[in-house]
Every structure is written in structure tokens, then in C-alpha cells.
């Protein structure tokens, strides 16, 4: 195999930052041997917009994927905006990489296409096109253009199936002269969070951490859509605790998979020349700030702050990086690691230089946050539309995350939120009404980022705010 490095990018679904503490193999084999990014954020805390940003290196206002479904959302929006024509897959494929995609793709795939459709840039393709893949059983995969059904047997458990296919991909690729890029997308711990048989009785006493923001007693300073939320009752709290425990249980299959994949890389003598990237598309809340039902999409830290861990050639072990980075940076970073120059349309920037020098001065001062509430296509609304609306409770907003502050503006009501994440990491005290000296420059900073494209985004992000 040539000298260019291999890349294994493992992406989970709805993984909260704190949950990785319950993954011992990840801690031992990635955190202890790699570099963790302590300020890595989703610019849009929802599956499809985030995944589009990961593939393209663009904010959602440039990918055109503005929700998981509905108007301007889901795979239909990705198709309409033709984002698949140029992604990190096509960049690396065109540069001579063997590419593989396994697991969850953009929400709604393959709507508008044949079930055997494979997006550009992928040499190997295994992704669900029918059934109930979120349940881990009874689903149909498009396997390189062939439809293969999986049932309800123990061997059909989705996470194990995807990891097995990843092992096979690595085994084949390792014997080739081509470097490889494998993007493995696992469903845990996304709802309904169904664990494998061997894990279903783990964590019998687990409960949502009772942090100060959980079932927050005083939300009088929050925007109206939060102020209207009642305190969680005992039934909701018990339901949240069960979901939390099930989420941890599903992550154990992911954790075993990490060990299996690293063992495969080692046995095939390619571990030393492989970058392993681990992250999630967005975070998740279960009752923090009284938010219910459990979901994501807000600008609160629990939804936007994500784990990002990377190990590989010349990456510092057991190191931490405090630089402000985000999902739009992943594609250009992977391109840089592969020796490829990303296209000029990319909004993000490569942070590959931080892997070898964790103390390098990083110029970004702000990172754009945004959300557009789902707009159902049906009139009248269907029961599925009502579920989607319940899982997308936040109104439209825009804002920014800096190294210290989170500032959010709701255009429909002109309400604002401002949190000092150093003094108030639980985001209990909204400073928007009492700190106009902070609101004015932060509002100006985010307003300049709205609608930015490519280099303009990076230029504005680098500008001092105060």
C-alpha cells in the first residue's frame, strides 16, 4: 500500500457528549491514544443537516438541507441542491482512494431515486432503503446495487452487521495498493434505542444525570417556547431514565465494534497508517431545561456540543485541543489528511495542523448556529407530520458559539438568549436582558455570518467580536 494514510470515519447518531464516558473501549483505544477536541460543535443540531455539512464542508444555508424532512429538508433537499456531485467521497475517490460507505445515510434516502441508487464517489455502498433500521432489526440494505433483507435474528442486529461489513472492507482494502476512506455510520444511540440481546440488562440503575439544568426549576428568563414548558412529572422522568439507560446499552455494541475494527486494522498491518475519527451528527437532550420530548435541534450545549476524537499518524496521544471547530470542518480536514485540496465552495477549514500541534494558535472566533423548524409537505397534516413537529419544538433561530458565549436570536419574536458558558456551563442564566454590552457585538457578529459563503465565512469567523 502506498504512503498516503487510510481514513476510518465512525459517526454515531444523537450521541450526547457525556455518554462517551460509558464506552471503555473508546476511552482506551481512541481517547488515550488520540486527540480529543473539547470545543467541537454541530452548526445545526439535527441529523440530515449535520450529515450534509459533514459531507460537503458547508453550513446548512449553503447545502440547502435545512431539516430532516419537509420543505427544504431530508434527502429530497440534498437531491434538489445536487450536493452529492461534490463531497468528501468524490474528492478522495478522484484522488485515487478506495471509498466505502456503510450504515445510515441522509434522512429519507433513497426518496426520488431507485432503491439500488448509489451516490457518486463511493466504491462500496451498504445503506438501508426500507424497513426499520433504527430498530436494528427488519430492514433492507442496498448492498452495492443489490437489495438484501435482514430479519429479527440475533445475527441481524444492525450495528453488528455494519461493523462486520466494515471489517470486510478493511480486510480487502488492506491488501490493495490504494489507500482507503471508509465512512461507517451507526444508528446508536438514536431512538428507539433497542440494545442487542447481550446488552439489554446492563445499567439497571442508570438515570439521566440530575444536573442543575435537568427539569430546570426556574425558566422565567428563557424564550417563550421554553417558558411554556411544564415541570417534568414522574412519568416523564421515568420514561427519560429508561431511554437514557437504553441509549447506553446500545452504545456497548458500538464500543465493541471499535475494538473489533482496531484489531482488524492491526492484524492487517495498516493501523499505524490509518486515521480513525469518531464523532456524532448532533447531541441530545432528555429533560434538560424541561425540554420534552427527548430530541435535539436546539442551540443549548447539550444538543450542539459533540465528542470528536482522532487517532492516527503523528497524532498526539491523550491530548486535548481547545480550538473552536465544527462539523463544516470535517470534510476539509479529511481532504487535507489525504493530501487533497478541497473545492473553493467549502465554508469550513482544515484543522489537521492541530493534530500535530495541539497548542497552535487558532484564528476562529465564532461559529454559526442555526435552525429552521420543519415545514410539513402535507395539508392536512398526517400523524407522522405531528410527530415530526413534536420532535422539532424550537422555532427558527440563528446565533453563534464563541469560545465562551452562546448567543441565539429568534427572528419571529425578536427574543434572545445569551449564556456565559465558562461561568454558567449549565446555561441556567440568560444574560440577554442584563448584558447589552455583550448582546450588541455578538448580534453583529452572527448577522455578518448569515448567508456567508466559502472564504467569506472563514474571514468573518476570524474577526474579533469584542
Catalytic (active-site) positions: 47
Q: How far is CA 328 from CA 44, 76, 376, 442, 452, in A?
A: 10, 21, 26, 21, 13
Find out whether 176 and 190 touch, Cβ atoms under 8 Å. no
Burial zone of 421 (CB within 10 Å; 0-12 exposed, 13-18 middle, 19+ buried)? middle
CA dihedral sign of residues 72, 77, 81, 83: positive
**What is the enclosing helix (H) or strand (E) of 76?**
helix 74-80
- Grid coordinates belonging to 54: 459533514
3-state secondary structure of 75: helix
Query: Taking every pair of C-alpha atoms in the chain, what is the biggest distance, in angstroms?
Result: 62
Across 42-72, b (16+ Cβ under 10 Å) vs e yields bbbbbbbbbbbbbbbbbbbbbbbbbbbbbeb
Cα gap 53→325, rounded to integer Å: 13
Helix-, strand-, coil-residue percentages of the chain, each rounded to 5: 35, 20, 45
Q: Interior CA angle at 79 toward 74 and 81, to 5°?
A: 100
Amino acid at each position: 500500500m502506498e504512503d498516503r494514510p487510510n481514513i476510518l470515519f465512525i459517526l454515531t447518531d444523537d450521541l450526547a457528549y457525556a455518554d462517551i464516558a460509558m464506552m471503555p473501549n473508546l476511552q482506551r483505544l481512541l481517547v488515550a491514544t488520540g486527540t480529543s477536541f473539547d470545543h467541537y460543535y454541530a452548526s445545526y443540531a439535527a441529523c440530515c443537516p449535520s450529515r450534509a455539512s459533514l459531507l460537503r464542508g458547508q453550513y446548512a444555508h449553503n447545502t440547502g438541507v435545512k431539516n430532516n424532512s419537509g420543505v427544504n429538508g431530508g434527502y429530497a433537499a440534498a437531491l434538489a441542491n445536487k450536493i452529492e456531485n461534490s463531497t468528501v467521497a468524490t474528492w478522495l475517490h478522484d484522488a485515487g482512494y478506495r471509498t466505502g460507505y456503510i450504515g445510515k445515510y441522509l434522512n429519507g434516502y433513497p426518496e426520488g431515486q431507485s432503491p439500488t441508487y448509489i451516490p457518486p464517489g463511493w466504491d462500496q455502498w451498504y445503506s438501508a432503503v426500507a424497513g426499520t433500521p433504527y430498530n436494528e432489526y427488519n430492514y433492507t440494505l442496498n448492498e452495492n446495487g443489490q437489495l438484501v433483507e435482514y430479519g429479527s435474528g440475533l445475527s441481524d442486529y444492525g450495528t453488528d452487521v455494519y461493523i462486520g461489513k466494515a471489517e470486510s472492507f478493511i480486510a480487502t482494502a488492506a491488501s490493495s495498493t490504494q489507500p482507503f476512506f471508509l465512512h461507517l455510520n451507526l444508528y446508536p444511540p438514536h431512538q428507539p434505542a433497542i440494545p442487542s440481546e447481550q446488552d439489554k440488562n446492563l445499567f439497571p440503575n442508570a438515570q439521566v444525570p440530575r444536573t442543575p439544568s435537568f427539569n430546570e426549576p426556574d425558566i422565567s428568563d428563557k424564550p417563550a417556547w421554553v417558558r411554556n414548558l411544564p415541570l417534568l412529572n414522574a412519568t416523564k422522568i421515568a420514561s427519560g431514565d429508561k431511554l437514557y439507560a437504553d441509549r447506553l446499552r446500545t452504545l456497548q455494541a458500538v464500543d465493541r465494534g471499535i475494538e473489533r475494527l482496531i484489531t482488524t486494522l492491526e492484524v492487517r498491518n495498516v493501523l499505524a497508517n490509518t486515521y480513525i475519527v469518531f464523532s456524532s451528527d448532533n447531541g441530545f437532550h432528555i429533560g434538560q431545561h424541561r425540554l420534552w420530548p427527548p430530541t435535539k435541534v436546539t442551540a443549548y450545549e447539550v444538543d450542539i456540543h459533540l465528542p470528536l476524537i482522532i487517532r492516527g499518524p503523528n497524532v498526539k496521544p491523550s491530548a486535548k485541543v481547545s480550538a473552536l471547530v465544527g462539523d463544516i470542518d470535517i470534510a476539509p480536514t479529511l481532504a487535507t489528511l489525504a493530501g487533497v485540496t478541497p473545492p473553493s465552495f467549502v465554508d469550513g477549514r482544515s484543522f489537521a495542523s492541530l493534530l500535530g500541534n495541539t497548542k497552535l494558535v487558532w484564528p476562529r472566533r465564532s461559529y454559526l448556529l442555526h435552525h429552521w423548524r420543519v415545514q410539513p409537505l402535507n395539508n392536512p397534516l398526517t400523524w407522522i407530520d405531528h410527530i415530526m413537529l413534536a420532535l422539532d419544538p424550537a422555532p427558527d433561530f440563528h446565533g453563534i458559539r464563541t469560545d465562551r458565549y452562546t448567543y441565539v436570536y429568534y427572528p419571529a419574536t425578536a427574543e434572545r438568549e445569551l449564556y456565559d458558558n465558562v461561568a454558567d456551563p449549565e446555561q441556567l442564566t440568560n444574560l440577554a436582558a442584563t448584558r447589552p454590552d455583550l448582546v450588541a457585538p455578538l448580534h453583529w457578529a452572527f448577522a455578518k455570518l448569515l448567508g456567508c459563503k466559502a472564504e467569506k465565512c472563514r474571514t468573518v469567523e476570524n474577526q474579533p467580536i469584542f
